[in-house]
């Protein structure tokens, strides 16, 4: 239960069924791994014997896999499910609900279109929550007047949209997503209000789209719409401009009402100051500016941050989160409630992988102290972001504050007083920002390192995954986008491992060992690339020479290898199907697992080491949220991999696929021709299976290399390079080894 004696519970916690079964399975896998290591040490070829060096390499890989497998068990050992009791929340605290500030972050209007951004803004403005206690902030790190214009249009549309959502209990409350979901419904069967609100939305969307395509705000629009455009008079570029702060809707002004005469949520636009001589610290810097500015304008005790493409898909999510924060027994120690990131454009079989397995990871980490903070869809207690430690004596009662008032200060005076909090130089004399206060600086995954630091101060976190997803975003539609994204994540996580924030060092005695291991599962993604790459190449290349590096099928030592391989993959498939995946989706998951580890994570390791020795600087890549290529979108919907880009990662993947194909084909040809150094099937069975599995999993890659004719095929330059390299490597190995 989630509350103390004598009080009504606000949430329940239940353990997953089958934990004992999984632990028994894990123990059997551990025994199998131990036997594999014993075999490898006991049967290491002597000096001068064939297979000695590859066997030593395989032993090192298997030792790593054993270690990594052990730490990953933290993410399965204690799976729990959280169940908020919203009725009890409303019954007890409806009049005492805390103020909530919502932070939406955008950084580039070209790859994060303003129309998409304001749909996210409208969706969070329309939460089922008292509007006088809700404030929404947009951080525009590009300082785009077009995004500002879109916000103005959205503020006008919100006066109609919010009443419509309340009246018809609309889900989702992103207008774009809502109207898309209603496209199959006959307009004649819809109420009159539907036709009217859709027309208003289309008018607004048309205006924003026209201005976006034009690339500037027409002068008549500037004069007609708002004084705020004058703040761009001194604007030089997105990297050189003053702070631009505008309270577009003042929720404390009685005139700021919707068509039902109900107050609107406060709506604020912020473009923090940018100067070339100051490092702006990417998203972490933007979030910290929002924390400071909101602490003076609305002072929300809870902060929700969402990416600009992650619209609210569940109007009850705020109340779900508050069930944890306001619980009298456990609430005072909960720092943040993390919701999963889910994607509206996922294909049926998850062409580029899915987040289903991460969902299970986070449910287990929840039972060990709390999940990682993953940057979006997270409700924070403001105190935790301000560096405070838990105080179990203070619960919901500290939020029972008097109604907020501004005394005699005008809105203009407020803006003038607060604007300096977002200036570049503010943190010069406030060095705790980015260190002990706010989100941490200096790491590409500012969210993960911030969450770890919060938990090391004694706070707990909660993972909440409601049946109706709380947030829906736009997932990557090409393999390159996925790999670039994971390259950044793995690079940042590995930086954490090499820093003073290493979970085993920083978390020692502060968080549970299981949670330390859970963090390191992600922090060691980059290191995992080397043994995976070795296992994907060396056994196949020695198959080409007919040299066995695994036990014979007829040997008893074959059993632990066979058991670990089969059992692990069967259980993985069962788990994937349990999480509502498909068999083909699981196969796609294995493919993307291989691709990430042999390209994105490999390069992340190299980049991180280069940075450690001073040869490169921190970079932050924003993933594109849209694609104007209709053919590409059609290929994605038909689950055809998109490989038509020049990328060093694609060169690695294509070469790896070609080496395995050549090794398998040449071995089969040699076998058919009766060659003497082809080896026996009994001794090479595992290598044949491994090489064959790699060829099978790379089948879409071969199609992109050789016979596809669409624009998503592999560029000819990469095809040529991978063919030359793979033939060169196989030929050199065949003649020199």
> For 549-605, how does the pLDDT look when each residue is reduced to its tens digit (9 = 90+)?
999 999 999 999 999 999 999 999 998 898 888 999 999 999 999 999 999 999 999
424: how many CB neighbours lie within 10 A of its CB? 18
Mean pLDDT of 313-330: 95
Tell me what pLDDT residue 627 has: 59
Provide CB contacts within 8 A for 264, sequence distance 6+.
125, 131, 158, 159, 162, 249, 251, 256, 257, 258
Angle between helices 513-523 and 479-498 (to 10 degrees): 130
Tell me what pLDDT residue 48 has: 64
Pairwise pLDDT comparison (378 vs 217), residue with the higher score: 378
- Which of 380, 412, 437 is a domain's end point? 437
pLDDT in tens, 267-307: 999 999 999 888 889 999 999 999 999 999 999 999 999 99
Tell me what pLDDT residue 624 has: 59
- pLDDT above 70 covers a percentage of the chain that reads 93
pTM of the model: 0.92
Let me know if residue 432 belongs to a domain: yes
Q: How far apart are CA 280 and CA 273, in angstroms?
A: 9
Tell me what pLDDT residue 360 has: 85
Please tell me whether residues 551 and 677 are part of one structural domain.
Answer: yes
Q: How far apart are CA 444 and CA 559, in angstroms?
A: 43
**Residue located via tokens 């059992």:** 567
Sheet architecture: strand order including 334-338: 244-249, 266-271, 134-140, 100-106, 302-307, 378-381, 334-338, 460-463
Q: Is the pLDDT of residue 607 over 50?
A: yes
Q: Give the residue from 383, 375, 395, 376 showing the smallest Cα distance to 291.
A: 383
Enter the DSSP assignment of 620. Answer: -
Q: How far apart are CA 215 and CA 229, in angstroms?
A: 15
Q: Give the residue from 307, 329, 303 showing the smallest Cα distance to 386.
A: 303
Q: How far apart are CA 389 and CA 453, in angstroms?
A: 11
Is the Cβ–Cβ distance between 172 and 181 less than 8 Å? yes
- pLDDT above 90 covers a percentage of the chain that reads 70
Mean pLDDT of 645-666: 95
Mean pLDDT of 685-692: 95
Mean pLDDT of 351-372: 87
Let me know if residue 339 belongs to a domain: no
Q: How far apart are CA 379 and CA 100, in angstroms?
A: 9
Tell me what pLDDT residue 252 has: 84
Out of 141, 145, 250, 366, the active site residue is 141
Q: Is the pLDDT of residue 51 over 80?
A: no
Which element (helix H / strand E) includes 588?
A: helix 583-595
Please tell me whether residues 531 and 404 are part of one structural domain.
Answer: no
Q: Give the residue from 165, 189, 181, 149 showing the smallest Cα distance to 271.
A: 149
Tell me what pLDDT residue 1 has: 43
Q: Give the residue from 533, 556, 539, 546 showing the smallest Cα distance to 655.
A: 533
Pairwise pLDDT comparison (476 vs 265), residue with the higher score: 265
Please tell me whether residues 684 and 539 are part of one structural domain.
Answer: yes
Q: Write out the E strands in 339-377.
A: 342-343
Tell me what pLDDT residue 357 has: 73
Is the Cβ–Cβ distance between 632 and 711 less than 8 Å? yes
Whether residue 141 lies in the annotated active site: yes
Tell me what pLDDT residue 38 has: 96
**The total number of structural domains that make up the chain:** 2
Please tell me whether residues 405 and 532 are part of one structural domain.
Answer: no
Tell me what pLDDT residue 4 has: 42
Confidence of residue 225 (pLDDT cuts 50, 70, 90): low
Burial class (CB in 10 A: 0-12, 13-18, 19+), 536: buried
Tell me what pLDDT residue 5 has: 40
Tell me what pLDDT residue 423 has: 92
Please tell me whether residues 410 and 534 are part of one structural domain.
Answer: no
Q: How far apart are CA 546 and CA 687, in angstroms?
A: 10
Is the Cβ–Cβ distance between 608 and 490 less than 8 Å? no
Mean pLDDT of 87-105: 94
Tell me what pLDDT residue 394 has: 55
- Which of 437, 472, 495 is a domain's end point? 437
Tell me what pLDDT residue 187 has: 67
Q: How far apart are CA 368 and CA 362, in angstroms?
A: 10
Q: What pairs with residue 635 in β-bridges?
A: none
Whether residue 128 lies in the annotated active site: no
Please tell me whether residues 394 and 248 are part of one structural domain.
Answer: yes
Let me know if residue 480 belongs to a domain: no
Please tell me whether residues 172 and 302 are part of one structural domain.
Answer: yes
- Which of 401, 422, 437 is a domain's end point? 437
Out of 145, 309, 447, 493, the active site residue is 447
Mean pLDDT of 378-387: 94
Tell me what pLDDT residue 221 has: 81
Secondary structure string (H, E, C) spanning 142-191: CCCHHHHHHHHHHHHHHHHHHHHHHHHCCCCCCHHHHHHHCCCCCHHHCC
Let me know if residue 504 belongs to a domain: no
Let me know if residue 609 belongs to a domain: yes
Q: Is the pLDDT of residue 355 over 80?
A: no
Q: Is 468 helix (H, G, I), strand (E, B) or coil?
A: coil
Is the Cβ–Cβ distance between 654 and 517 less than 8 Å? no
Residue 82 backbone phi and psi in degrees, to 5: -100, 140
Q: Give the residue from 333, 562, 349, 566 showing the smallest Cα distance to 458.
A: 333
Enter the DSSP assignment of 389. Answer: P
Please tell me whether residues 296 and 153 are part of one structural domain.
Answer: yes
Which tokens sit at 392? Answer: 């179990």
Please tell me whether residues 665 and 565 are part of one structural domain.
Answer: yes
Q: How far apart are CA 247 and CA 412, in angstroms?
A: 9
Let me know if residue 187 belongs to a domain: yes
Tell me what pLDDT residue 378 has: 97
Which tokens sit at 174? Answer: 């992103």
Let me know if residue 9 belongs to a domain: no
pLDDT in tens, 107-149: 999 999 999 999 999 999 999 999 999 999 999 999 999 999 9
- Domain hosting residue 173, numbered range: 98-315+388-437
pLDDT in tens, 391-415: 766 555 556 554 455 555 788 888 8
Q: How far apart are CA 679 and CA 665, in angstroms?
A: 15
Tell me what pLDDT residue 197 has: 96
Tell me what pLDDT residue 161 has: 97
Confidence of residue 446 (pLDDT cuts 50, 70, 90): very high
Please tell me whether residues 211 and 309 are part of one structural domain.
Answer: yes
Mean pLDDT of 370-387: 94
Please state the length of the chain: 737
Q: Mean pLDDT score of the chain, rounded to an integer?
A: 90
Let me know if residue 130 belongs to a domain: yes
Tell me what pLDDT residue 427 has: 87
Burial class (CB in 10 A: 0-12, 13-18, 19+), 289: buried
pLDDT in tens, 2-50: 444 447 889 999 988 878 888 899 999 999 999 999 999 999 887 766 7
Q: Give the residue from 666, 673, 681 showing the smallest Cα distance to 730.
A: 666
| Lowest mean pLDDT segment, chosen from 4-13, 358-367, 647-656, 717-726 | 4-13
Angle between helices 558-578 and 583-595 (to 10 degrees): 120
């Amino acid at each position: 239960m989630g509350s103390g004696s004598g009080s009504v519970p606000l949430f329940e916690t239940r353990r997953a069924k089958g934990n004992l079964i999984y632990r028994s399975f894990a123990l059997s896998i551990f025994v199998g791994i131990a036997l594999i290591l014993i075999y490898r040490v006991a049967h290491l070829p002597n000096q001068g014997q064939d297979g000695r060096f590859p066997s030593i390499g395989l032993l090192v890989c298997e030792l790593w896999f054993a270690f990594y497998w052990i730490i990953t068990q933290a993410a399965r050992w204690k799976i729990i499910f959280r169940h908020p009791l919203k009725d009890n929340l409303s019954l007890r605290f409806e009049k005492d609900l805390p103020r909530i500030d919502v932070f939406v972050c955008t950084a580039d209007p070209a790859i994060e279109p303003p129309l998409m951004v304001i749909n996210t803004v409208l969706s969070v403005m329309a939460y089922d929550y008292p509007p006088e206690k809700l404030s929404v902030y947009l951080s525009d790190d590009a300082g785009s007047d077009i995004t500002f214009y879109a916000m103005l249009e959205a503020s006008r549309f919100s006066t109609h949209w919010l009443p419509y959502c309340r009246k018809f209990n609309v889900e989702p409350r992103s207008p774009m997503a809502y109207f898309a979901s209603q496209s199959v419904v006959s307009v004649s069967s819809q109420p009159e209000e539907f036709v009217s609100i859709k027309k208003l939305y289309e008018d607004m969307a048309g205006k924003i789209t026209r201005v976006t395509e034009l690339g500037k705000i027409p002068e008549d629009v500037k004069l007609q719409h708002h004084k705020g455009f004058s703040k761009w008079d001194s604007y030089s570029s997105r990297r050189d401009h003053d702070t631009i702060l505008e309270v577009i809707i003042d929720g404390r002004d009685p005139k700021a009402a919707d068509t039902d005469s109900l107050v609107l949520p406060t709506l604020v636009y912020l473009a923090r100051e940018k100067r070339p001589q100051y490092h702006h610290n990417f998203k972490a810097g933007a979030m910290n500016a929002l924390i400071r500015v909101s602490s003076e304008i609305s002072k929300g005790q809870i902060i929700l941050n969402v990416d600009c493409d992650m619209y609210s898909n569940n109007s009850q999510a705020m109340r779900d989160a508050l069930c944890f924060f306001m619980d009298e027994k456990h609430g005072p120690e909960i720092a943040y409630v993390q919701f999963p990131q889910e994607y509206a454009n996922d294909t049926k079989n998850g062409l580029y992988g899915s987040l289903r397995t991460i969902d299970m990871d986070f449910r287990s980490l929840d039972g060990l102290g709390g999940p990682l903070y993953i940057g979006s869809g997270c409700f924070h207690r403001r105190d935790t972001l301000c560096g405070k430690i838990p105080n179990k004596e203070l619960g919901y009662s500290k939020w029972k504050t008097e109604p907020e008032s501004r005394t005699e200060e005008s809105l203009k005076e407020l803006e003038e007083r607060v604007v300096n909090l977002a200036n570049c130089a503010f943190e010069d004399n406030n060095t705790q920002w980015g260190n002990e206060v706010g989100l941490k600086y200096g790491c590409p995954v500012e969210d993960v390192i911030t969450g770890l630091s919060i938990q090391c101060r004694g706070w707990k976190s909660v993972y909440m995954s409601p049946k109706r997803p709380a947030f829906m975003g736009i997932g990557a539609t090409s393999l390159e986008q996925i790999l670039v994204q994971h390259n950044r994540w793995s690079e940042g996580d590995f930086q954490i491992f090499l820093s003073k924030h290493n979970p085993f060092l920083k978390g020692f005695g502060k968080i549970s060992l299981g949670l330390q291991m859970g963090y390191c599962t992600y922090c060691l993604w980059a290191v995992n690339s080397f043994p995976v790459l070795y296992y994907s190449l060396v056994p196949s290349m020695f198959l080409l020479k007919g040299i066995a590096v695994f036990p014979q099928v007829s040997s008893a030592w074959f059993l632990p290898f066979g058991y670990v391989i089969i059992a692990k993959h069967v259980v993985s498939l069962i788990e994937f199907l349990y999480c509502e995946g498909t068999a083909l989706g699981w196969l796609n998951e294995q493919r993307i697992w291989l691709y990430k580890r042999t390209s994105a994570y490999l390069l992340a390791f190299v980049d991180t080491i280069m940075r450690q020795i001073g040869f490169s600087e921190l970079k932050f890549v924003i993933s594109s949220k849209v694609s104007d290529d209709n053919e590409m979108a059609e290929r994605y919907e038909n689950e055809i991999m998109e490989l038509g880009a020049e990328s060093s990662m694609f060169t690695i993947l294509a070469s790896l696929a070609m080496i395995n194909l050549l090794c398998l084909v040449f071995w089969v040809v040699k076998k058919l021709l009766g060659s003497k150094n082809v080896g026996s099937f009994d001794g090479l069975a595992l290598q044949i299976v491994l090489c064959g599995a790699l060829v099978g999993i790379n089948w879409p890659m071969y199609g992109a290399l050789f016979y596809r004719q669409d624009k998503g095929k592999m560029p000819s330059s990469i095809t040529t390079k991978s063919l030359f390299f793979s033939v060169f490597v196989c030929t050199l190995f065949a003649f020199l080894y």
